[in-house]
């Protein structure tokens, strides 16, 4: 049994055939899914999916690309939403310096506020960080150290960065981008990261594996990532599966189907 620890099945990309996508995930052994919110609208959509499908969980977050869209009132509404509908994590939140409409200073302020909220509500965090490692680390060190459990999702930095993230007590999750042809450095990180500190995700609809590159990704492709990584690491697929599934269940507090 696999858990897709980060996907966006509530996104419009799945409107035409969501039922079929969900059925394929189940058929391929992906028995639990975490739908990750990125702004007030998608937070609500993720919550609604988790109400319809008991094997799905929802998070509530504010993606760095949306950091500049939220007003003071919006922060209050966010906290009210989280209080009334407790998510399994706060996220995705973080910093993304690749072609973002949100200025870095705005992203940093929003990120810090979200970490503070997660700490007060005793919720783990899902951190998104792209080409912003030093700033992400600095904020996590001052705002999260010792106070928060977290995962840096779609981990795409080097081995030195991995060590710094693990030293914070955080987990990392790997996406199908480790299967890309040009990802040898990242693959080396994914191959050597401690097995009990990693989780698997698809980030669907993004980042389809190499064999489907450029197409829409979907949770059933997690099985491809699990096959690929267990082979690369030279371990039994069942060992990878059981370990990462246990980690995910503990991290998000999921009750998994037996």
Residues 6+ apart with CB under 8 A from 120: none
Does residue number 130 form part of the binding site for Zn ion (CB under 5 A)?
Answer: no
Question: Among residues 178, 177, 143, 204, which one has the least CA distance to residue 8?
Answer: 204
Pull the structure tokens for residue 89: 């994590």
Residues 55-114 that bind Zn ion (CB under 5 A): 92
Closer residue to Zn ion in complex, CB, 76/91:
91
Closest distance of CB 184 from Zn ion, Å: 22
In the bound state, the residue with its beta carbon closest to Zn ion is 128
CB-nearer residue toward Zn ion: 8 or 149: 8
Query: Phi and psi for 23 in degrees, rounded to 5?
Result: -65, -40
Q: Give the Cα separation of 135 and 141 in Å (integer).
A: 10
Question: Cβ of residue 115: shortest distance to Zn ion, in angstroms?
Answer: 16
Using CB under 5 A, count the residues that bind Zn ion.
3
Q: How far apart (Å, rounded) are the C-alpha atoms in residues 225 and 178?
A: 8
Minimum Å gap between C-beta 236 and Zn ion is 29
Tokens of 40: 């007030």
**Alpha helices (H) along the chain:** 18-27, 40-52, 72-84, 104-121, 133-143, 159-167, 184-192, 222-233, 237-252
Taking CB under 5 A as the rule, does residue 203 contact Zn ion? yes
Residue 12 or 239 having the CB closest to Zn ion: 12
Q: Report the residue number, 66 or 128, with the smaller CB distance to Zn ion.
A: 128
Cβ nearer to Zn ion, comparing 4 with 92: 92
Q: Does 218 bind Zn ion (CB under 5 A)?
A: no
Of residues 10, 66, 113, 128, which one binds Zn ion by CB under 5 A? 128
Name the residues that contact Zn ion, by CB under 5 A.
92, 128, 203
């Amino acid at each position: 049994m696999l858990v897709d620890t980060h996907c966006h099945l509530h996104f419009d990309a799945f409107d035409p055939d969501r039922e079929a996508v969900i059925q394929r995930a189940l058929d391929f052994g992906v028995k639990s899914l975490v739908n990750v919110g990125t702004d007030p609208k998608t937070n609500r959509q993720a919550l609604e999916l988790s109400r319809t499908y008991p094997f799905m969980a929802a998070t509530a977050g504010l993606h760095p690309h949306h950091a500049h869209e939220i007003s003071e009132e919006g922060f209050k509404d966010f906290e009210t939403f989280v209080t009334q509908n407790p998510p399994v994590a706060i996220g995705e939140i973080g910093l993304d310096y690749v072609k973002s409409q949100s200025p870095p200073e705005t992203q940093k302020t929003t990120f810090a506020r979200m970490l503070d909220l997660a700490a007060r509500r005793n919720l783990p965090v899902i951190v998104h960080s792209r080409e912003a490692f030093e700033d992400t680390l600095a904020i996590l060190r001052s705002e999260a150290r010792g106070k928060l459990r977290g995962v840096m999702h779609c981990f795409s930095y080097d081995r030195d960065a991995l060590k710094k993230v693990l030293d914070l007590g955080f987990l990392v999750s790997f996406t199908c981008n480790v299967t890309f042809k040009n990802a040898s450095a990242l693959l080396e990180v994914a191959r050597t990261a401690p097995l009990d500190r990693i989780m698997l995700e698809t980030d669907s609809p993004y980042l389809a594996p190499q064999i489907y590159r450029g197409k829409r990704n979907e949770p059933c492709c997690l099985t491809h990532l699990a096959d690929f990584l267990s082979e690369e690491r030279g371990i039994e697929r069942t060992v990878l599966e059981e370990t990462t599934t246990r980690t995910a269940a503990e991290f998000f507090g999921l009750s998994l189907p037996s």
